[in-house]
Amino acid sequence: MKIPFIDLHKQYLKYKDEIDCEIAEVLNSSIYIGGEKIALLEEKLAKFIGSKRAIVCSSGTDALLLSLMALDIKKGDEVITTPFTFIATAEVISLLGATPVFVDIDEKTYNIDPKKIEQKITKNTKALLPVSLYGQPADMDEINKIAKKYNLKVIEDGCQSFGATYKGQNSCNLSDIGCTSFFPSKPLGCYGDGGAIFTDDEELALKIKMLLNHGQNERYKHKYIGINGRLDAIQAAVLLVKLKYFPNEIKQRENIGKRYTTLLKDSNVITPYIKNDRSSVYAQYSIRVKNREKIIKHLNKKGIPTAIHYPTPLHLQECFRYLGYKEGDFEVAEQISKEIMSLPMSPFLSKNDQDSIVKELL
């Protein structure tokens, strides 16, 4: 038995004819950067999310970087975020010379704990950057309320939660700016790197559009110092096809996630906790166990792949040593990082494979 961690091949085969046709259109047009596919994708993404503007870009990391650049985050500024996430969230803050300020996470949702944010706000704080981890939106109402009180901007890192909802609204449309990733393994993924930024602020959207194209406002006229952050047309073509089927895939992901939880309810495994006022797209199905290494070794031996998202909190990473954090500073994040592990998850995971995974897990 060999179960794929994420079955991208089965997904491709299902949409193959349409994807191949869309890619062929790009190849025949010879327009590989910009063009109709990019404009159409932005239009459809904005409509899907419910935001006024969607700007596609080269990756989820660049989506975060461009958002911070658009808000003029610079050296001396502080941005509050979580230590329990992929490194890109804090990395982009440091790349701009600003300081990532970490706040511990909620023990149930693994998202940033809003009750601990205010004590970390200083005169240098310019923005809050919560992560909607594993596919479930963070506590955005509480976070936005704090931001309004202190006149701060909020960027939702929705790189894992595109397609999830929060109190009837879509993730990535819950704050000043929302960002997502189209990395192949994401709930909506392309066939390379890709990302998008969402906002209702037309001025910000225009600035981001310039920043991702070397700061250009006209050809060879540069208003800002920018980056090469464009999405290519072939990736847009792939996403245009997959976006059509994404609502159905969201339902499949939710059904599979809930079925995992039901199958594991009487075990010693701690399953994902999803709040009643929101949904999750289960970018990962992540559980907590006490004997992780032993379980991973057993599952892998049986042909069941696993992953750890994430084994080391950011404040304990070597690259962030300069921030002065130490072990014990964020006890919840540190504890979760020792117990968390992810099981195979995709809209195409069969019930038989899921049953086999759970049987070996128990």
pLDDT-derived band of residue 317, with 50, 70 and 90 as boundaries? very high
What average pLDDT does range 225-242 have in this prediction? 98
CATH class belonging to 8-103+111-239: alpha beta
Q: What is the pLDDT of residues 337-347, one digit of tens each?
A: 999 999 999 99
Separation of alpha carbons 282 and 58, rounded Å: 23
Residue 333 in contact with residue 327, Cβ under 8 Å? no
If you count them, how many residues does the chain have? 362
Token duo for residue 263: 């199958």
Supply angle C-alpha 175, 245, 33, rounded to 5. 70
Distances (CA, A) of 25 to 13, 18, 195, 267: 19, 11, 22, 51
Q: Can you give the pTM of this predicted structure?
A: 0.98
Which whole number is the average pLDDT over 144-155?
Answer: 98
The pLDDT value recorded for residue 23 is 98
- Average pLDDT of 246-264? 98
Which tens digit of pLDDT belongs to each residue from 100-113?
A: 999 999 999 999 99
CA pair distance 62, 156, nearest whole angstrom: 14
Placement of tokens 């906002």 in the chain: 199
Confidence of residue 239 (pLDDT cuts 50, 70, 90): very high
- Alpha carbon 164 to its chain centroid, in Å, reads 11
> What is the secondary structure of 316-329 as a DSSP string?
GSGGGGGG---TTS
**Strands in the chain per DSSP E:** 53-57, 78-81, 99-102, 125-129, 153-157, 165-166, 169-170, 177-181, 195-199, 216-218, 221-222, 285-288, 340-343
Domain extent listing, the chain: 8-103+111-239, 246-361
Q: Please name the fold of domain 246-361.
A: Aspartate Aminotransferase, domain 1 (3.90.1150)
pLDDT of residue 1: 66
d(CA 74, CA 93): 8
Burial class (CB in 10 A: 0-12, 13-18, 19+), 336: buried
- Write out pLDDT tens, residues 38-56: 999 999 999 999 999 999 9
Q: What is the mean pLDDT of residues 349-360?
A: 97
Q: Which two tokens stand for residue 284?
A: 């990962």
